[in-house]
Amino acid sequence: MVGTGLAMIVVQLALRFWAVWGSWFQFDDFVFISRMLHQPWSWSLVDQGYGGHLMPGGFTLTWLFTRIDPLGFQPYAVTLVVLQALASLGTLVLLTSLFGRRLAVLVPLSLYLFTAITFPAFVWWAAGMNQLFLQIALTWGLAAHLRYLRTRHLRWILVTALLVAGCLLFYEKVLFVYVAIAWLTLAYFVKGSFGHRLVQVWRRYWPAVLVHVALAGGYVAWYLAVARGSASTGAGTTDLLPLTGNVVGKAWLPGTLGGPLRWEVLTGPFQLVDPPELAVAVAVLVTVLVVGAVAVTFTRSWRAWTLPVAFILLDIALLQSARASAVGPVAGLELRYITELGLVTPLALAAATMPILGSPEQVERRAPHRFLDDRELVAAATAVVCALGIYSTVRYADHWRGSTQSRAFFTNADHTLGTAKEPTPLANVSVPQYLMWGFDYPRNTTRYILGMYADRMSFPDVSLDHLYVVGNDGHVVPADITPLITASGPGNRGCLATMGPTGQATLTLSGPVHGSGAWARMSYAAPRPMTIRFTTGNETRTLELGAGLRNVYLQMNGDFDRVTLTRVGGRGSVCIGDMVVGFAVPVEAGDSS
């Protein structure tokens, strides 16, 4: 039986290795890489929140891999597969520890190994380094706690606490392990009413209670101090009913039974579940039939289902307060937010149908059942669910692996950026949406995302003749300034303004400038080099203008509606040809401006 389980794990790992080896970085990965580049490792570097997450362990791994190759994905891919192997082996160990080495444990094991629920998080580094450690903590941590419940040896408390603490360095949601620990302890290793069970837990297992409460409390205090303010949330909450419908009816139940079968492309490689209506109906019907069949066939089966129910309620509560408040009920269609349900649901099915060894209250058969008693039928049904799960996984992986925009963007930038000796003067503009969400400023800007090329870029606030931007495909191209605001002034002989040896000119803008991010392009003609003072609001800059018919680009900061130019050095007069204020954008093909 163990050999069969190991063979199944090998098949799962082979499938996932194929999927991840052909993958690359996406979205948050680039922020992590840029954050870790060019800095020595320090606790202050990794002990910081990101999007509501606290993951110094994940940042440390990223820091290490950037020293090997900033954009080499191989170390990340291997790490994800190794972590998946630990989680899958942990699932086998947990199931055999709970129920013994019996063929029946292959059913929940296979449901976990081949579900698509866990795949979207696995294949993406930013999510995989979080979610896989949660699965590792759930399996190995629960197995260690089980040994403590059976033996009451204090060393197993320490093993469990160390496992949980280590995994908490990668993901705050590892705290959910304590939901599973409480479930196993209260539901299966004490007896009586709920209040009586609580009393027994304290009397029998108080050392574990003290250790785990202290660990959880200390971690929560650390999290609140470091990461709470980093969460990206919207202004309010979303409607709970459609969110719950998406999570339960379209993501969880179809995913548990091999779905979603169909995916909706969101952005770049990212996909949301989009199960056919028939698949949703079948999933709900099969779930009702299975739970009902188990209830009439086995005693004490209902307590098993409290585990996935508790997890789904917590997941919905987290989505309601955080992600869904920003994007709405559609957040419930993203499997990354319910990844652990791919593990705890098969575990609950096993606990509802098989006795836990050493438990004072055992699941017992109360009546025969035509389906559940037929090994061939159960095996066939399990094989169908696993085959559908593999199909759903492969469909997701095909699109993920085939989405090469991000890799092409970095390849093009690498080929067209300047050198360390002659860095390219760039406007720090937003990168395309397929690289980073637009609302995640300033982490969605060129300076941040292309941090691995920092020595080949410069971001001046004044640039003579040349200013560039990184286009949507990653190529570095000349910048054009969208003429949102224009200037008027004391015109003379085709000049917007003319300044003699001691001249001054005030240009009135067609509209006010507010904040930062805008750029101005000023064309001028000067027979000799000269120096002028450029004043906008409370900001004054001194510009060295070269001779000839040229352009100067200036980043505009502050609040103002006029520009004052003062001649402070040089000989001859200067003709200001025009001035436009707007955003730096790529020059369109054939644009002669």
What is the per-residue pLDDT across 77-107, written as a single tens digit (0 to 9) for each? 999 999 999 999 999 999 999 999 999 999 9
Domain match, 389 and 489 both: no
Could you tell me the residue range of the domain that residue 521 belongs to? 485-586
Rounded average pLDDT over 382-390: 97
Domain match, 196 and 105 both: yes
Domain match, 286 and 388 both: yes
Dihedral sign of CA atoms 100, 105, 106, 110 in order: negative
Cβ count near 265 (within 10 Å): 12
Burial 417-442 (b: 16+ CB within 10 A, else e): bbeeeebbbbbbbbbbebbbbeebee
pTM for the predicted model, two decimal places = 0.90
Q: What is the pLDDT at residue 266?
A: 85
Q: What is the pLDDT at residue 324?
A: 63
Measured in residues, the chain has a length of 593
Q: What is the pLDDT at residue 592?
A: 43
Q: Where does a domain end: 386, 402, 418?
A: 402
Quote the mean pLDDT of the chain: 91
For the chain, what is the domain count?
2
Tell me the CA end-to-end span of the chain in Å, nearest whole number: 73
Amino acid at 29: D
Query: For tokens 């995994």, what's the residue?
Result: 167
> Comparing 11-20, 427-436, 470-479, 484-493, which segment has the lowest mean pLDDT?
484-493
Q: What is the DSSP letter of 143?
A: H
Residue 107 or 485, more confident: 107
For residue range 136-174, what is the model confidence (pLDDT) as tens digits? 999 999 999 999 999 999 999 999 999 999 999 999 999
Q: Is residue 363 part of a domain?
A: yes
Domain match, 497 and 398 both: no
Q: Is residue 441 part of a domain?
A: no
Q: Is residue 537 part of a domain?
A: yes
Domain match, 236 and 364 both: yes
Q: What is the pLDDT at residue 234?
A: 52
**Strand-pair category, 424-425 with 457-458:** parallel
Q: For residues 162 and 380, what is the distance between their CA atoms, to the nearest angstrom?
A: 40
Domain match, 179 and 87 both: yes
For residue range 13-69, what is the model confidence (pLDDT) as tens digits? 999 999 999 899 998 999 899 889 888 999 999 999 888 899 999 999 999 999 999
User: What confidence category does residue 590 fall into, taking pLDDT thresholds of 50, 70 and 90?
Assistant: very low
Q: Is residue 442 part of a domain?
A: no
Residue 283 has pLDDT above 90, yes or no: yes
Helix (H/G/I), strand (E/B), else coil: 589 = coil
Residue 440 has pLDDT above 80, yes or no: no
Report for 33-37, 333-337, 367-371, 584-588: range of highest mean pLDDT: 333-337
Q: Is residue 330 part of a domain?
A: yes
Domain match, 61 and 152 both: yes
3-state DSSP of 445-514: EHHHHCHHHHHHEECCCEEECCCEEECCCCCEEEEEECCCEEEECCCECCECEEECCCCEEEEEEEEEEC
Q: What is the pLDDT at residue 368?
A: 82
CB 577 within 8 A of CB 460: no
Residue 232 has pLDDT above 70, yes or no: no
| Cα dist from 538 to 172, 309, 541, 556, 557, whole Å | 45, 59, 10, 12, 9
Q: Where does a domain end: 381, 402, 423?
A: 402
Domain match, 398 and 489 both: no
Rounded to 5°, the CA angle 48-49-53 comes to 135
Q: What is the pLDDT at residue 589?
A: 52
Q: Where does a domain end: 402, 436, 456?
A: 402
Query: For tokens 């093009």, what's the residue?
Result: 412
Q: What is the pLDDT at residue 436?
A: 83
Q: Where are the alpha helices (H) located in 253-333, listed in sequence order?
A: 253-256, 277-297, 302-321, 323-327
Residue 325 has pLDDT above 80, yes or no: no
Q: What is the pLDDT at residue 439?
A: 66
Domain match, 230 and 353 both: yes
Q: Is residue 194 part of a domain?
A: yes
Q: Is residue 37 part of a domain?
A: yes
Q: What is the pLDDT at residue 516?
A: 81
Beta bridge partners of 486: 580
CATH number at residue 574: 2.60.120.260
Q: What is the pLDDT at residue 305?
A: 97
CB 320 within 8 A of CB 240: yes
Domain match, 258 and 137 both: yes
Rounded average pLDDT over 572-588: 88
Residue 408 has pLDDT above 60, yes or no: yes
Q: For residues 529 and 574, what is the distance between their CA atoms, to the nearest angstrom?
A: 10
Rounded average pLDDT over 451-465: 91
Q: For residues 457 and 455, what is the distance between their CA atoms, to the nearest angstrom?
A: 6
Domain match, 379 and 525 both: no
Q: For residues 351 and 348, what is the distance between their CA atoms, to the nearest angstrom?
A: 5
User: What confidence category does residue 236 fall into, taking pLDDT thresholds of 50, 70 and 90?
Assistant: low
Domain match, 387 and 523 both: no
Q: Is residue 477 part of a domain?
A: no
Rounded average pLDDT over 473-479: 94
How far is CA 158 from its chain centroid? 31
Residue 176 has pLDDT above 90, yes or no: yes
Q: For residues 51 and 352, what is the distance between their CA atoms, to the nearest angstrom?
A: 37
User: What confidence category does residue 228 fall into, taking pLDDT thresholds of 50, 70 and 90?
Assistant: confident
Q: For residues 402 and 270, what is the distance between their CA atoms, to the nearest angstrom?
A: 11
pLDDT > 70 in the chain, percent: 96
